[in-house]
Amino acid sequence: MGAQWFARATAGTEAGALAREVDWAATPLGHPDTWPTTLRICVEMCFSTRFPVLVTWGPQYTQIYNDAYRPMLGSTKHLGAMGASARDVWREVWGQLGPMFD
């Protein structure tokens, strides 16, 4: 499958372009070639729908999201949110959100 799956899954969207710029190897998820099949399927579904989708993965809640989800982030969070921990991105409301993720 190789790196082609990630390029194909994220093609054609602005959030996908942003996802391709992330140094995933520097995140808790590691390089996309090492991702488990379940995560790959979630990512493919995320970028193939027009509905807002946020995928959080692992104990750090690493985020991947699509174009439709971007307005929920607002202009101040969007650029730093891809590949970041949901706990960090949503720090000001994590007290309310965190229990929903656990």
43 CB neighbour count, 10 Å cutoff = 24
pLDDT at residue number 75: 86
Beta bridge partners of residue 55, listed in sequence order: 64
pLDDT at residue number 61: 97
Range of the domain at 12: 4-101
1 CB neighbour count, 10 Å cutoff = 11
State if pTM tops 0.75.
yes
Q: Give the count of domains, the chain.
A: 1
- The number of C-alpha atoms within 13 Å of 32 and in the hemisphere containing its C-beta is 22
The answer to whether 74 and 100 are in contact (CB under 8 A) is: no
The answer to whether 64 and 46 are in contact (CB under 8 A) is: yes
Q: Tens-of-pLDDT digits for all 102 residues of the chain?
A: 556 899 999 999 999 999 999 999 999 999 999 999 999 999 999 999 999 999 999 999 999 999 999 999 998 887 799 999 999 999 999 999 999 988
